[in-house]
Amino acid sequence: MFLLQLLISGLANGCIYATVALGAVLIYRASGVLNFGHGELFMVGAFFGYIFRVTYQCSYLVSLLFAMILGGILGILLDKIVFRPISRYSPIIIVMATVAVGFALKGFARLRWGKDFYPFPPILRSMPIQIGNILLIPQDIAVIVVSVVLMVILLVFFQYARLGKMMRSTSQNQLGATLVGINVKRIFSYSWALGAAVGAAAGVLIAPITSLYPDMGGKMMVKAFAAMVVGGFGSIQGAITGGMLMGVIENLVGGYLSTSIMDISSFLFIIIILIIKPEGLFGVRTFKKV
C-alpha cells in the first residue's frame, strides 16, 4: 500500500525532526533562548559522528555516543562563553548571538570539510524487507528505533531522575528554583549540554540517510521549528508529536500533491500556525502582566 509506505518513511523523517526539535526545546525551556543556530549543532554533531565512524572505525552506537558527548561539551562551552554573559540582554540580541554562533560553527566545518558531500556508512547493510506490499527499509526502522529509545530515555529522565526534575522546576520558575536551593546557572549549563547532545544525536541519526555537508543544518532547523510550532512551544511531548506529525504530513504532501510543495510545507506551517494561533497548535495561551 502506497499510503502505509508513505506513513512509515514519514515517521522515520519525523523521528529525526522530533529529535532536533527536542534539543531546541530543552535549551529553550531551561534558559529561555531559542537557538537559531541549532541546525549547526546538528550538523557539527553529524560530523563528530563521521569522525568516529569513518576515521576511527567505531561501531555506529559508539560513534553516536561519542558524538553526543562531544556535542554536550560544545553546548557547555557555548553556554559558558557566549550565552551566560548575555543572558540579561533583550531577546533580539540573544537571537543575533545564536545566529552568529551558528555561522561560526558552519564556517569551521566548511574550513575542514569544504564543499564536498560525505557519505556515511549505513547502519544496517541489508536489503529492504518485503512484508506484503510494503517495502521496509532497514535504515528507516533503525532510525525509528534509535530515536524512540532516545526519546523514552529523555522522558523517563525528566519524569523520575533528580536532575531531570531540577531542570523541569527551573524551567517553570527560576526564582522558585533558586529559593529551594537549585543552582540555576549549573542547570542552564546542563540544559545546553543536553540540548546540544540531543541535536548531535539527531545529526548522527540522519547521517546514514543523507550525506553530510556543512550547509545541512539550515533546512533541518526550519523543520525543527515547524515541529515545535505544531507541538506547542516548549513542551517535550509537544516537540515529539509535532516532529512526527511534520514528517508524516510532509511525506503525504510529497506523495499525493507534489514534491516541490513538500519543500515549503514546513515554512507554510510555521507562518500559518504562528499567525493564526501564536501559542502553537497544542499550546496554552499565556498572558503578560505589566
Partner 1 sequence: MNIRNNYLFSKGINLLVLALLITLPVVLNQYQQYVLNMVLIYIIIGLSFNLLVGYAGQFSFAHPAFLGIGAYSSCLMVLHLGIPFWLALPICGLITAMFGLMIGLPALRISSFYLGMVTVAFNELIVWIFLHWDSVTKGAMGLKVPKPFIGGFTFSTDKQIYCIILAVTLFCVLSIRNILRSKFGRAFVAIRDSEIAASTLSINLIKYKIFVFMLSAFYVGIAGGLYGISVGIIIPEAFGLSPVLIYFAIIIIGGLGSFTGTILSSIIITLLPEFLRGFVALQEILFGVLLVVFIVFLPQGIHGLLLKMNFIKQESFSQE
**Binding string, residues 197-216; x marks residues near partner 1 by CB under 8 A:** -----------------x--
Number of residues interacting with partner 1: please give it, by CB under 8 A: 46
Among 119, 121, 176, 278, binds partner 1 (CB under 8 A): 278
Between 53 and 223, CB nearer to partner 1: 223
Nearer to partner 1, 59 or 258 (CB): 258
Shortest distance (Å) from residue 148 CB to partner 1:
26
97, 82 contact by CB (below 8 A): yes
- Please identify which residue in 147, 170, 189, 266 interacts with partner 1, judged by CB under 8 A: 266
> Which positions from 118 through 157 interact with partner 1, judged by CB under 8 A?
none
Distance CA 243, CA 206 (A): 14
> At which residue does the C-alpha cell 566545518 appear?
109
Residues of span 63-122 touching partner 1 by CB under 8 A: 81-82, 85-86, 89-93, 95-97, 99-108, 110-111, 114
Expressed in angstroms, the distance from the first to the final Cα of the chain is: 56
Neighbour-count burial for 56-82, b at 16+ CB within 10 Å, e otherwise? eebebeebbbbbbebbbebbbebbeeb
Q: Are 31 and 269 in contact (CB under 8 A)?
A: no
Kindly tell me which of 208 and 254 has the beta carbon lying closer to partner 1.
254
Whole-number minimum distance, CB 253 to partner 1, in Å?
14
23 binding partner 1? (CB under 8 A): no
Burial class (CB in 10 A: 0-12, 13-18, 19+), 288: exposed
Single out the segment in contact with partner 1 by CB under 8 A; choices: 46-54, 123-131, 193-201, 266-274: 266-274
In angstroms, give the least distance from the CB of 216 to partner 1.
Answer: 14
Integer Cα distance of 254 and 42 in angstroms = 24
Alpha helices in the chain (DSSP H): 2-31, 38-50, 60-78, 91-113, 138-160, 162-172, 174-179, 184-206, 216-230, 236-256, 259-276
In the complex, minimum distance from the CB of residue 217 to partner 1, in angstroms, rounded to a whole number: 11
Please report how close the Cβ of residue 212 comes to partner 1 at its closest, in angstroms. 16
Secondary structure (3-state) at 173: coil
Phi, psi of 18 (to 5 degrees): -60, -40
Footprint of partner 1 on this chain (CB under 8 A)? 28, 34, 36, 81-82, 85-86, 89-93, 95-97, 99-108, 110-111, 114, 214, 218, 222, 225-226, 229, 260, 263-264, 266-268, 270-271, 274-275, 278, 290
